[in-house]
Amino acid sequence: MQKLTQKDNSTFHHKRQLRLTMLGRIKNPIVMETHGGIGKLFASCYSTLPTGIVFEHDEAKSNFLAQQRPTWAVYRCDVVKALQAGAGAHLPVNFLDLDPYGSPYETVDAFFSSARPFPETMAIVVNDGLRQNVQMRRALASKTMQTMVAKYGNEMIFKRYKEICREMLAERVSRQGYSITSWAAYYCGAHSSMTYWAAILTKHKEPAAIAA
């Protein structure tokens, strides 16, 4: 098996701490990792959880993940296409973990637009690398950012990227009846090009019927 490596662990402490904090907010977490990598987050955060789902497109990494977590569902595939097709719908995922190298929004879209169980409350934790494109004035090249560029302009998106992330998430999760009831976000990494954000999502409550 080829040697597994990870390019940048400089912000791993922050990744880990954010996930541990959010795990404390969810009862009986069922985790979906959309980008499993070399399994370091699992080893630090999720190893005590008997059930979960992980995706990874690299063959060597996915083979390692299957050995690392034999009771989890491990998918070797393109995560966006797999989620769109309903992969992982056999479990009521209430903790969604996204750690892509770039934009997370294609994966967020695929998850929340697919047919699967959506619990009353869930957490989402994201490592978002898209702010680097904004910093390099390439936001318009990203399909997910075109509406935001038209609305705010590239410079304002960079300055207010954390707020933009919340707005973009709120629009996407509303498709399944969720609203954001708790939010945290901060910049990190070289030149603050990475954005780590997390949210608790809660289903909208239907208004109580008025007795006749």
- Which pLDDT belongs to residue 7? 47
Q: What is the CA radius of gyration of the chain?
A: 17
Summary count for the chain: helices (H), strands (E): 9, 7
Alpha helices (H) in the chain, listed in sequence order: 12-23, 40-41, 59-68, 79-84, 105-112, 131-135, 146-152, 154-159, 161-173
Specify the pTM: 0.89
Say whether pLDDT at 161 is over 80: yes
Record the tokens describing residue 152, joined without a space.
């705010």
Considering the chain, what is the average pLDDT of its residues? 88
Going along the chain from its start, the domains and CATH numbers come out as 12-129+177-203 (3.40.50.150)
What sign does the dihedral 74-177-98-12 (CA atoms) show? negative
- State whether residue 126 is helix, strand or coil: strand
- Which pLDDT belongs to residue 9? 54
